[in-house]
Amino acid sequence: MSKLDELIAELCPEGVEIKNLSQVLTIKNGKDYKGFAKGDIPVYGTGGIMTYIDHAAYEKPSILIPRKGSLDKLYYVDVPFWTVDTLFYTEIRTEVIVPKYVYYYLQTQHIEKLNTAGGVPSLTQTVLNTIKIPLPPLPVQQELVRILDNFTELTAELTAELTAELTAELTAELTARKKQYEYYRNQLLTLGEDVPMVALGDVAQYSNARISATDLNADNYVGVDNLLPDKRGKTESSYVPENGMCTRYQEGDILIGNIRPYLKKIWQASNTGGTNGDVLVIHITDNGILSEYLHQLLSSDLFFAYDMQYAKGAKMPRGSKEAVIKYKIPIPPLEEQARIVAILDKFDALTNDITSGLPAEIAARRKQYEYYRDKLLTFKEASA
């Protein structure tokens, strides 16, 4: 029998009390920090530490709970801190409950599901205060925290080792796959003399449509000052312009990075959005060419070499719009274009399978940890 089992058998064999969260802690609102000077006190927002100031909102161990935004991010803080108004902090009744026990337990509750807003995800004190939390005796809570701390540390160490080992293996495999993929793409896209060659400008044009920055967000703004999406998904933008007009793109358009280090980045748009002058938007005007086929043509080393040949600038070379639109491309029948795309998509999928191997392993570790944590924090309720 483990120490935890012994404690439960001794101190709460018939079950434990279930309390509302409001009975074991008090939820407090965060505030603006900008009136304070720089210091060594961390200021927390929903994304983590934002800055450091010379004043603390609270100095005892606390759980920070998001009020708006990313509702799944909880923080345990055991040093003096400050929180902004997108985070709640908690004053915990340590005579009845261990702060880190609260932290681990709230992780099992997936409080993001308690969202009360239709727009920006939000939580309220009223909703949070009614969360039910089991209240075993303090020695049981302390032993649970010790076990979960050790398991968390072990999981982190195993993940780090796994990451290092798999990264080396996957990098080598991925490099080989990419070389093979590029070789076959160049072979497939080098068609016979009987296939007509036309300038890109004969089947497509640069988008001259405009879209207001106010209609853009993290999902549909593309620029070299943010993370760019690819045809398989989206990544969260780190910057979106606040005003002005941008070049509009729509589903099926091809987006070409036009300044280093994005000259080799080619994207096929899966939605409607906007971009800045560092990205060229190619809009197909001829029904005789598939968007997916054009995406493959412009993703090849052949186009990149051509683009670099006409790029200007030493430190930050920029592609030539005039040269790009004159690039010669083969236009086989639509059936042949579709066949080429299907073959290359299979190679692309194989490459992506290798790339996703590491995240999948890490996710499995995380699920194992969460299952173990949830089982430990499940108690029988004592009879009234």
pLDDT at 236: 40
pLDDT at 227: 41
Sheet holding 221-222, edge to edge: 210-212, 245-249, 273-275, 221-222
Tally of domains within the chain:
3
The whole domain housing 165 covers 1-14+137-195+332-384
Q: What distance in Å separates the CA atoms of residue 202 and residue 327, rounded to the nearest whole number?
A: 10
pLDDT at 22: 95
CATH code of the domain in which 92 resides: 3.90.220.20
Give the tokens for residue 155.
């999981």
Q: What distance in Å separates the CA atoms of residue 307 and residue 360, rounded to the nearest whole number?
A: 36
Quick one: average pLDDT of 22-42? 93
Quick one: average pLDDT of 131-155? 88
pLDDT at 237: 41
- 162 with 203, same domain: the answer is no
- SS3 at position 266: strand
- 77 with 172, same domain: the answer is no
pLDDT at 362: 62
- 47 with 88, same domain: the answer is yes
Q: What would the pLDDT profile of 86-117 be if each residue is shown by its tens digit?
A: 899 999 999 999 999 999 999 888 888 888 76
Q: How far apart are the first and last CA of the chain?
A: 28
Query: How do the residues of the chain divide into helix, strand and coil, expressed in percent and rounded to 5?
Result: 40, 25, 35
Residue 239 has pLDDT above 80, yes or no: no
Residue 280 has pLDDT above 60, yes or no: yes
Final residue belonging to a domain, choices 110, 135, 160: 135
Q: What distance in Å separates the CA atoms of residue 300 and residue 298, rounded to the nearest whole number?
A: 6
pLDDT at 118: 65
Q: Are 163 and 358 in contact (CB under 8 A)?
A: yes
Q: What distance in Å separates the CA atoms of residue 357 and residue 177, rounded to the nearest whole number?
A: 14
**% of residues, the chain, pLDDT over 70:** 80
Quick one: average pLDDT of 242-262? 86
- 169 with 307, same domain: the answer is no
**% of residues, the chain, pLDDT over 90:** 39
- 5 with 150, same domain: the answer is yes
- 203 with 169, same domain: the answer is no
Quick one: average pLDDT of 14-39? 93
- 219 with 323, same domain: the answer is yes
**CA separation, residue 239 to residues 65, 198, 214, 272 (Å):** 25, 37, 13, 18
Give the tokens for residue 186.
């160049």
Q: Which of these, 143, 138, 107, 101, lies nearest to 6 by C-alpha position? A: 143
Residue 62 has pLDDT above 60, yes or no: yes
Residue 173 has pLDDT above 70, yes or no: no
